[in-house]
């Protein structure tokens, strides 16, 4: 499918790349430098090219709008006629400094956009998906299992820009199989990480769904752990006795 990207930053650049690699025809547009669009297109592969907003939308069936709210009018003006197009937007109606929503409670950015381009079909999606989780996905499997140390086995999402793990999904295993705390059934953990202090990536959200198996029934249960206000600790002397290993699914636990 021919898809035009309006605004090729973190969201537009990454989703456009994923779509190009999945076989769609992608045109990246709207950045401050043409060279950035060309680099994005080159990295996304032979299905991608760089263009102006008008070129990106002219033959596109679907348009992905990923502009800052303050740039939406300018992007739409440059794109021209969008009648009949499907516009998927992840744009959040944020203030110029991204500190607050400028539209909310009684309406939304997507509804406002739908009024601006009344002849297009507007779909709001990906608004709450952090761009960090969009790249790159690897399978991780221990080469050798031992009894004493549980190792991670599962899927790892790495941010291409920062080359850091931003999400994991999987379990902790030793040579006996999956490991979990004896009192809980949770085995597979989905964990998101956030950037702290510009340097470190710490887990800020972990979730696991499983079942408590009773004699006659299985009851679905869910574990959610959230870490907030993560701050680096001041350097302190090394402890006399090293800490025991953390529970599976909670390694690298940041101290609040």
Interface residues with ligand NAP (CB under 6 A)? 7-12, 30-33, 36, 66-69, 71, 90-92, 94, 126-127, 129-131
Give the nearest distance from C-beta 66 to ligand NAP in angstroms: 4
Q: Cα(207)–Cα(36) distance, rounded to whole angstroms?
A: 37
Nearer to ligand NAP, 69 or 201 (CB): 69
What's the token pair of residue 152?
């991670």
Give the nearest distance from C-beta 226 to ligand NAP in angstroms: 18
Nearer to ligand NAP, 75 or 173 (CB): 75
Other beta carbons within 10 Å of 238: 5
Give the nearest distance from C-beta 209 to ligand NAP in angstroms: 24
Q: Comparing C-alpha atoms, which of 226, 167, 165, 225 is closest to residue 200? A: 165
Nearer to ligand NAP, 167 or 180 (CB): 167
Nearer to ligand NAP, 95 or 218 (CB): 95
Give the nearest distance from C-beta 253 to ligand NAP in angstroms: 24
Q: Cα(228)–Cα(34) distance, rounded to whole angstroms?
A: 39
Q: Cα(75)–Cα(10) distance, rounded to whole angstroms?
A: 16
Nearer to ligand NAP, 31 or 150 (CB): 31
Give the nearest distance from C-beta 52 to ligand NAP in angstroms: 11
Q: Comparing C-alpha atoms, which of 145, 141, 225, 138 is closest to residue 181? A: 225
Q: Cα(76)–Cα(122) distance, rounded to whole angstroms?
A: 13
| Residue whose C-beta lies closest to ligand NAP | 9
């Amino acid at each position: 499918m021919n898809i035009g990207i309006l605004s090729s930053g973190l969201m537009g650049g990454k989703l456009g790349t994923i779509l190009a690699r999945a076989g769609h025809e992608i045109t990246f547009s709207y950045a401050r430098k043409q060279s950035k669009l060309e680099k994005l297109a080159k990295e996304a592969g032979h299905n991608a090219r760089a263009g102006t907003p008008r070129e990106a939308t002219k033959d596109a069936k679907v348009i992905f709008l990923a502009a800052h709210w303050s740039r939406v009018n300018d992007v739409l003006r440059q794109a021209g006629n969008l009648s009949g197009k499907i516009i998927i937007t992840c744009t959040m109606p944020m203030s110029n400094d991204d500190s607050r929503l400028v539209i909310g409670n009684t309406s939304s950015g997507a509804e406002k956009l739908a009024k601006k381009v009344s002849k297009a079909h507007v779909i709001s999606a990906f608004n709450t998906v952090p761009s960090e989780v969009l790249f790159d996905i690897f399978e991780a499997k221990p080469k050798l299992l031992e009894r004493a140390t549980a190792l991670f086995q599962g899927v790892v999402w790495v941010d291409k820009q920062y080359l850091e793990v931003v999400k994991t999904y999987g379990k902790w295993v030793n040579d006996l199989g999956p490991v979990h705390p004896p009192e809980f059934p949770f085995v597979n953990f989905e964990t998101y990480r956030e950037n702290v202090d510009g340097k470190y990536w710490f887990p800020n959200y972990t979730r696991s769904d499983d079942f408590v198996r009773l004699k006659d029934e299985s009851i679905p249960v869910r574990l959610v752990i959230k870490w907030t206000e993560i701050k680096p600790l001041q350097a302190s002397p090394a402890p006399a006795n090293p800490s025991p290993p953390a529970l599976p699914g909670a390694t690298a636990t940041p101290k609040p």
